Structures are given as C-alpha cells and as structure tokens.
C-alpha cells in the first residue's frame, strides 16, 4: 500500500512542478500559459484531493483551504482561472506570490500523507502481531489441557508459547524502529534477552515487566531442554501471563 502511495505522490509532485512553471510564466504576462495552467492545476488538485480523501487524511480541511481560502482574495482556485487582462503587471505578480504560497503549502500537506500512514501502520502491525500470538497461545493451552500429563506435550505447549511471545516482542521493536543489537556482539543473532533490553531502554516496557518476561522465558527455555524439569503448572503460567503481558506491549 505504501509503495503504491509513494508512487502516486511522486507522480503528483512531478505534475505540481509543471503547474508552478506554468503559473510563473503566466505571472510574467505570458498568455499562452493558459489554458494549460488551468488544466494541469485542476488535474493536480483533483488527483491529490481524492488521494487524501481515500486515506481519510487529517489535513484534508487545511488542503481545501489552500485551494479556496476564505480570508484571502487569492488562492489556488482563483489563480488557475485568472484571465490575462484581469490584473496589471504588478497585480498579477502579487497574485502569483500568494498563489505560490498556497500551492507550496498544499504540496507540503500532500507530502506529509506518507508519514501519517506510517504512524497508522504502527498500531495495526502490532495489533495483528498480538492477534496471531494470542491465537498461538490458545493453541498452546489446548495442547497443555489435552496433554494428560504427557511430558512431551507439556514441553511442546511451552515451546509454542515461547515462539509466539518472542516473535511478538521482536515485531513490536521493529514497528517502533528500535534496533536490536546482539550482546555480546560475538553472538550470531540477537536473542529475546536482547529484545527485552532494547524494549526497556526504549521505554516500551518497564523494569518490572522485563522481570516478568525473564521469569516466563526461563520456563519456556526449560521446555526446550529435556534435561531441565518442567511442570504443567509453570507452563500454564507461561501461557496465561505471557498472553496478558503481550496484550500490554503494542
């Protein structure tokens, strides 16, 4: 979606450059700049506005005010429809100055659309991650309930919960643009402890929450190592508390 949006904004920016060139020619009493100025200007405005409407952009009202200002005698709409004889040389130059100011502001609003979309994507990405993790936690719990004391299924339940919880933490860090470095650097890849340290330093989780995660991942790690003892009650806590904590980290 963002790739398509960037491409469309790029096309509109190219068209906007043409509109400004035509508008400047017209300000120098070049009557041949019309009707291309009106045509290209409307193409840019209508194309840009529809994109903002589709994305429910918060700056749409400000964008419309650039096109049709209530407190100024000159705006984008007015300048695009000026006749060559409507102003003196100094008058049309002043009109161009006001038009350019409004047009550049409208361009800036359009260019800011991507950043609003990126901010919207942040909670969507982490919410989807949590939904997947929660579903996997439910699967882990069902496996635990039906294990009937069989150690292999109890351990498998804990491993599923661990994978779900770890992936969610890495997704949260990624969506918040937090870089997770391996500590020590000699490690091939950063692990969950590195992710937790990064999230705590980034203010995403508290020291208490990190301590809770550490306790849960100790249980999860035991599930993956047959030499370590594991209890069904511990795995149940891993699943229950892990799901609750993950719901807070979005």
User: Has residue 196 got a pLDDT over 60?
Assistant: yes
| Host domain of residue 27 | 2-111
The average pLDDT across 151-179 equals 90
What's the structural domain count of the chain?
Answer: 2
pTM of the model: 0.54
- Domain end: 76, 111, 146, which one? 111
Q: Is the same domain home to 137 and 64? A: no
User: 126 and 103, same structural domain?
Assistant: no
* The predicted structure's pLDDT at residue 226: 81
Q: 136 and 175, same structural domain?
A: yes
Q: Are residues 84 and 192 in the same domain?
A: no
Is a pLDDT exceeding 60 seen at residue 140? Answer: yes
CATH at 125: 1.20.120
Residue 186 lies in a domain: yes
One domain, residues 99 and 186: no
CA–CA distance, 88 with 119 (Å, rounded to integer): 47
Q: What pLDDT is recorded for position 5?
A: 87
Q: Is the pLDDT of residue 132 over 80?
A: no
Query: Does the residue 156 lie in any domain?
Result: yes
Where residue 140 falls (left for φ over 0; alpha for ψ -120 to 50; beta otherwise) is: alpha
b/e code 52-67 from CB counts within 10 Å (16+ = b): beebebebeeebbbbb
> Does residue 82 belong to any structural domain of this protein?
yes
Residue 116 in domain: no
């Amino acid at each position: 979606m963002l790739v398509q949006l960037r491409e469309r904004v790029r096309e509109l920016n190219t068209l906007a450059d043409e509109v400004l060139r035509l508008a400047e020619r017209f300000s120098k009493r070049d009557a041949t700049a019309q009707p291309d100025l009106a045509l290209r200007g409307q193409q840019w405005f209508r194309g840009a506005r529809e994109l903002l409407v589709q994305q429910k952009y918060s700056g749409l009202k400000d964008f419309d005010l650039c096109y049709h200002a209530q407190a100024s005698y000159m705006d984008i709409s007015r300048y695009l429809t000026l006749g060559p004889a409507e102003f003196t040389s100094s008058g049309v130059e002043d009109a161009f100055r006001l038009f350019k100011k409004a047009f550049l502001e409208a361009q800036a609003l359009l260019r800011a659309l991507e950043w609003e979309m990126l901010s919207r994507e942040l909670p969507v990405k982490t919410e989807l991650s949590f939904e997947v993790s929660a579903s996997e936690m439910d699967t882990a719990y069902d496996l635990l309930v039906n294990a009937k004391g069989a150690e292999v299924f109890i351990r498998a339940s804990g491993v599923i919960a661990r994978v779900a919880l770890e992936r969610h933490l890495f997704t949260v860090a990624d969506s918040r643009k937090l870089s997770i470095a391996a500590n020590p650097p000699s490690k091939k890849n950063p692990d969950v402890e590195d992710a937790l340290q990064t999230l705590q330093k980034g203010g995403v989780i508290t020291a208490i929450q990190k301590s809770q995660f550490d306790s849960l991942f100790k249980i999860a790690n035991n599930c993956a190592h047959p030499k370590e003892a594991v209890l069904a009650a511990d795995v149940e806590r891993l699943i229950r508390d892990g799901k609750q904590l993950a719901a807070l980290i979005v």
